[in-house]
Structure 1
Amino acid sequence: MELDRKTIIVTGASSGIGAAAALLFASEGANVVLGARRKEELDQLVGQIVQSNGKAACLPGDVTDETYAGSLMDFAQDRFGTVDGAFNNAGVMGDMGPVSQMDRANWDAVIAANLTSAFYAAKAQIPFFAEKRSGAIVFTSSFVGYSNGGMPGMAAYAASKAGMIGLVQALAAEHASDGVRINAILPGGTKTPMAGEDPNTHDFVANLHPIKRLADPREIAQSALYLLSDRASFVTGAPMIVDGGMSVRLL
């Protein structure tokens, strides 16, 4: 049991990678505290975990609200006594298109949901982990933030995910001596609601990957599990690429 009796916060947990991670972490012994905007989906996921003899609770909210990050920490401590790690996974794609045609509202919304929310999460989580001198934090970035060659129309998303990598590396350097490990996973194309429903689009994106398929969300969740577990005890500041070879093709 990789996360036995550990309490882990998961944001963006109502679907996709976040939901897969919540199920996986619970199966590995964690008490999972789920955050997302959609209460009904969170309640259903909590019920699914509890029916499988896992432990879960949820607190709906918006990661772009700074107070929500603190509320999640308080809620997790009240419910399970402590917090041992966090998978800050929530994010949005935003509208795609060239920067010259992008409106400010779209830019601001993507940066807020993907990057500023990561800043809020770090501010809420790190002091607690630093005080107890242990904790692991994983953020969901993207291969698009690492190597965006050949992916036009994704400037806001790419900027937010690249900024997240920089944030993670700075945080890791600042808090390694406090016993806090901070890493990021960089998924490739994954079968999530963000990928849409068009099978032609799925096929197109899948064929961009050398592995010639999209990832299952559970595959990405496995990478987050590793970074949150004690097996990654010497890993911090790492942008862990989990992209089916996509970044190799682009480089």
Structure 2
Amino acid sequence: MTSQLWLDSIAADGARITAIDPGHLALPVPSCPGWTVRDGIVHTGGAHRWATQFLQAGPESKERFVPDVSDVPDGDAVLQWYAGVNAALLDELRRHEPDAPARAFIGRTTASFWMRRMTQEVSIHRWDLQNSLPDGAEPLPAWTAADGITELTQMQIPLIVGKKGLPAELAGRVLAIEATDTRDRWTLRLRADGVDVLDEPAPGDVTLRGTASDLDLVLWRRTEPGTVDLQGDRAVLDGLLDVVII
């Protein structure tokens, strides 16, 4: 993926969020229990602010940041507040080449980390919010979803499992994921203390097949595994996702 695709995606999904009917702000968000649509907008804006703070501070900064939503206005004005925060994030991202040094919650990295992370943040929460509305949610674009699965398998899942560990019965089990529209494949071998991301396909103890959008939503626990073709031992998938609570 190119940096322009990431930036375009952040802008497009941000515009979809900004266009939500103010009359729907109080609706509950089924995929994020306890949230209203307004809560989801504030959360996503806070994540944008967080990324912007890291980028503005530079790669050598040791400062800790928390999402700053102290200026969120009451009522319908939250939509324009979010539009401004989304625009500020994009302005900051455009100041950096993708390979420019940067810092994130994982430590030293490059600006492309935040381009991808915010693409995935706004994409999944755009789906959450639209899914709460009467007309339902548009699927994730195939390339966005495939990139999201790559981020999950290469960064999010290994990071969380490395910290929490996995039940002993999952050690050595293999999860295979196959996107039927993009033809991408991802294979993870689980360990008690981590995850090995395999370069070559391997037979899975459980294999998931479906569109990249459907797969990404299952892995983010937005939809049930029954929305994709699941072959093998579902307990492997459930056991992993019970640990990787995102």
TM-score, normalized by length of structure 2? 0.26
Q: Which has the larger radius of gyration?
A: 2
User: Greater relative contact order (Cα 8 A, min sep 6): structure 1 or 2?
Assistant: 1
